[in-house]
Every structure is written in C-alpha cells, then in structure tokens.
Amino acid sequence: MRERKHRQNQADPGKITSYILLSLGLLFVIVPMYYMVISAFKNNASTFAYPPVIFPSFGELTTENFSYVLSRTPFFKYLGNTIFVAAMTVIISTMKGKRRRTNSGGWLRQPYTPSSFWPR
C-alpha cells in the first residue's frame, strides 16, 4: 500500500511531455492571433516599424483603422456577401449530403465524388 501512494506522487514523464507539447502548440496558435489583434489597433507607422513592438503601451493603441474601414469602404456589403456565401455553402452541402443503408442495417455516408454533385 505504501509503495502505491509513493508512485501516485511521482510525476509521469509522458504526461509532462504532453503538457509541454500542448503548451507549445497553444503558443503557436495564440501568438499570431494576439499580434493580429494588436496590429489592428496600431497606426501604420507602428505596425510596420522595425523592430516590431510586441507589447505597445495603451496610449499607442488607436481605433483609426476601424473608422477608416467602416467609413471609406463598403464593409457591410462585403460582410453581407461573406454571410451569403457561407450560408449557401452550408445549405447546398446539407442538401447534397447523401445517405445510404449498409448491409448491416446502419446508415453510412456516401463518399463525395465529383459526379455526386450533378443531378442524374
């Protein structure tokens, strides 16, 4: 019994390695997202400065990029087009999804082939 409790307190090297790899993967995903958001709130000079400022002060952040996009471009037209294309993609994919019965009585999704998208 004493040996069992002792093993529970030891760190598992496989578990530690997996946590390290997951943390590195998380950084690989989060850091570009952070940089994208911070760059959206910088002015052009700060965005393209070399070396780049990764952690700008709060006073350097601005919303002029957002006001430019909303006032000088047809942003809502582009947004509407994007929503329309996404909705049509979902609707058409759902309508074109085919199912067939297998010999075992269950349902199996048919594989998509180029000819499966055209009416017969």
Nearest residue to 56 via CA among 80, 40, 75, 77: 40
Q: 50: number of CA atoms within 13 Å, CB side?
A: 0
User: What pLDDT, on the 0 to 100 scale, is given for residue 2?
Assistant: 54
Q: Please tell me the distance from the alpha carbon of residue 113 to that of residue 120, in angstroms, as a whole number.
A: 13
Digit-coded pLDDT (tens) for 42-61? 988 888 888 888 888 888 88
Distant-in-sequence contacts of 60-67, Cβ < 8 A, 24+ apart: 65/40, 65/41, 66/40
Q: Is the pLDDT of residue 68 over 70?
A: yes
| Of 4-8, 25-29, 91-95, highest mean pLDDT | 25-29
> What is this structure's pTM?
0.56
Q: Please tell me the distance from the alpha carbon of residue 97 to that of residue 112, in angstroms, as a whole number.
A: 8
User: What pLDDT, on the 0 to 100 scale, is given for residue 101?
Assistant: 47
Identify any residues that bridge with 101 across adjacent strands, giving them in sequence order: 107
Measured between alpha carbons, how far is residue 94 from residues 9, 69, 90, 100 in Å? 51, 34, 6, 15
Whether the Cβ atoms of residue 74 and residue 93 lie closer than 8 Å to each other: no
Whether the Cβ atoms of residue 65 and residue 40 lie closer than 8 Å to each other: yes
Digit-coded pLDDT (tens) for 78-103? 999 999 999 999 888 777 665 544 45
